[in-house]
Structure 1
């Protein structure tokens, strides 16, 4: 591990000189590439230097104790040595986590797709609540949210909806939300007080760049139709909504929240590329999951990942498992505790897996 850290520190020093070189700065493409690489390894180098300072302090304290010239100094050195030694295991764990292979998609913007599952109107209402939850969470992190498409029910729910979240680290924070979310509660329309179970499906997809997904235009069927719902003055007067069918896979994407046919077409293509990219990722992750026996983060849409029990005020994630009794604040977008727990759990699995290799 320490040989790798020394190599990264050397690379860090080299990059710091390169990104300050006027010749490199004049080539913006090269400069941006090197700057990103520099930024990515900065946290590792900073933590490693902190670790080395602690080790240096431990060695200095040991020297003072060994010399034993001044009893008062020796006593102070023993206290400092004890404090510094306690910090070493934690710093080593942090360094191991920082050295874990980084998901290349972690800093990407994402497309979120929600669909009502089993449970009729109640499932649609729950899907709408999940949409609000993720939008509030994005806003709390100052990420930008852009609606792409929505198909509403007549009672305030949604049959399906898609929106983009733009912000650094969006995929890294929300990628484990993919899967089936289950709600248990008494619907407002239930006169007998019986608890009903409904579901909604969430898909979190990293935005695909053009270099990653190339689409043959001959593989697309593009239909235009009249928008329904919110979308400005042109709604219901022009054929601005767009539906794109990817013939090889049968994927269908609709977009009608933009103000023009061109805008909707561009957004629909974004969603299609993200879906195709996500399909490739899911297949790769399924292979990895089979090899590693790692069930977190496989992107399996059929897996029930979480239950929201309203009568008991609890949220349970079935992969960790973890139960939180703070449903009200959770539904308002305060989901960091759950996300942090899942990330930590996944990091522990990766550390164990790499240790076995």
Structure 2
């Protein structure tokens, strides 16, 4: 490690501080704290809650940058002492501090790239089988568990809305809601077609099979975004839930399917125990999809939330997962790859791909 490496980290931190407008947010924190301490602040609960949310978000950004500044100062001190005394233990400790600060700055940079308020909120993820028949159903299930593992790594909460077992192997689809900091901003990097190449587990001749699945990522809309839905435009069907879900889940018509007749959008939810809960969850997903369509119509351009619509098939994939004849996961947008396939599919180690995607997108990659 050289002194120039530390200086480069300092420059990155300066950029992040500028992107996050930390100077302005320090003033905003003082202003909102004074507002929250005023008499009658909680008389309007909804307004007060919104103010507290803004206050906490501003505090988080200020606190994060201050912590990064402290880490940088500690690193500079450790490196200077190590260089001055030629203490190898101190220099090794400084190297560890540098690595830690790099990771911390990577997270801050992500937050600075998320300019849409929806990026900081929750996400609705849907995985759908593409070309490949039974193999695609199994691939959908594999991706589903990969994302569940990733959410565990991120300490995000997951509510599975719908994941019915398919005939034979795998699942027909998976829809789940992810709650946590920057969940939508992070996961929208996964939007697109995912390709799997492996020896088919269903083929007696053990031939190589190429399979596809599509991933859709939508934001969970906050309460202050209103999507008007005419009840007359909805067809609501109830039916027996299928798959795991507890002893009582298959004994009543608890599963709900909502069809929005004007657009043809169909949403299903069956993993809650009551019909009312499933209907509420399905309506939340429907509202997000209708919001997406309205945003695309308003902007008169390619849908900014879902991206270009592609057939879930060869030639449209964003990432390839090859298990045979070699092992490699490669993102075709950024070129980032790894041969540690198990780390990705089993452990949900996706950060290197997601962070690289956002760095690529901020640099104009999506327009190239």
TM range (shorter): 0.7 to 0.9
- 1:102 equivalent to 2:118? Answer no
Distance (Å, rounded) in 1 between the aligned partners of 2:109 and 2:199: 46
Over 3 Å counting, the alpha-carbon distance change for 1:289 and 1:124 in structure 2 is closer
Over 3 Å counting, the alpha-carbon distance change for 1:13 and 1:309 in structure 2 is same
- 1:32 equivalent to 2:47? Answer no
The answer as to whether partners of 2:237 and 2:258 remain within 8 angstroms in 1 is yes
**Cα offsets for 1:201-256 (capped at 9, x unmatched):** 11111112343223222221212122222233333332211111112211111111
- 1:344 equivalent to 2:359? Answer yes
Map of 1:148 onto structure 2: 161
**Cα offsets for 1:23-68 (capped at 9, x unmatched):** 0783423531540452365269649988xx9xxxxxxxxxxxxxxx
Distance (Å, rounded) in 2 between the aligned partners of 1:216 and 1:236: 30
**Cα offsets for 1:54-112 (capped at 9, x unmatched):** xxxxxxxxxxxxxxxxxxxxxxxxxxxxxxxxx9xx9xx99998765612111211111
Q: What are structure 1's unaligned runs of at least 5 residues? A: 54-86, 291-296
- 1:165 equivalent to 2:188? Answer no
Report the number of matched residues. Answer: 311
Give secondary structure in 2 for the equivalent of 1:340: helix
Over 3 Å counting, the alpha-carbon distance change for 1:101 and 1:197 in structure 2 is closer
The answer as to whether partners of 1:9 and 1:45 remain within 8 angstroms in 2 is no
The answer as to whether partners of 1:285 and 1:299 remain within 8 angstroms in 2 is no
- 1:245 equivalent to 2:253? Answer no
- 1:300 equivalent to 2:300? Answer no
Over 3 Å counting, the alpha-carbon distance change for 1:98 and 1:249 in structure 2 is closer
The answer as to whether partners of 1:25 and 1:31 remain within 8 angstroms in 2 is no
Please provide the CA RMSD for this pair.
Answer: 3.8
Distance (Å, rounded) in 2 between the aligned partners of 1:216 and 1:306: 39
Over 3 Å counting, the alpha-carbon distance change for 1:97 and 1:181 in structure 2 is closer
Distance (Å, rounded) in 2 between the aligned partners of 1:288 and 1:300: 6
Map of 1:183 onto structure 2: 196
In the TM superposition, what is the alpha-carbon distance from 1:314 to its structure 2 partner?
0.4
- 1:330 equivalent to 2:344? Answer yes
Distance (Å, rounded) in 2 between the aligned partners of 1:24 and 1:301: 52
Q: 2:335 aligns with which of 321, 334, 339?
A: 321
Distance (Å, rounded) in 1 between the aligned partners of 2:21 and 2:255: 53
| TM-score of the aligned structures, taking structure 1 as reference length | 0.74
Q: Which moved more, 1:154-163 or 1:20-29?
A: 20-29
Give secondary structure in 1 for the equivalent of 2:307: coil
Give secondary structure in 1 for the equivalent of 2:164: strand
Distance (Å, rounded) in 2 between the aligned partners of 1:98 and 1:242: 36
In the TM superposition, what is the alpha-carbon distance from 1:286 to its structure 2 partner?
8.2
Q: 2:243 aligns with which of 229, 237, 240?
A: 229
Q: What are structure 2's unaligned runs of at least 5 residues? A: 1-13, 43-47, 74-97, 311-315
Give secondary structure in 2 for the equivalent of 1:23: coil
- 1:119 equivalent to 2:139? Answer no
Give secondary structure in 2 for the equivalent of 1:42: helix
The answer as to whether partners of 1:44 and 1:99 remain within 8 angstroms in 2 is no
Give secondary structure in 2 for the equivalent of 1:105: helix
| TM-score of the aligned structures, taking structure 2 as reference length | 0.72
Q: 1:259 aligns with which of 254, 264, 273?
A: 273
Give secondary structure in 2 for the equivalent of 1:106: helix
Give secondary structure in 2 for the equivalent of 1:209: coil
Distance (Å, rounded) in 2 between the aligned partners of 1:96 and 1:249: 38
The answer as to whether partners of 2:191 and 2:215 remain within 8 angstroms in 1 is yes
Give secondary structure in 2 for the equivalent of 1:299: coil
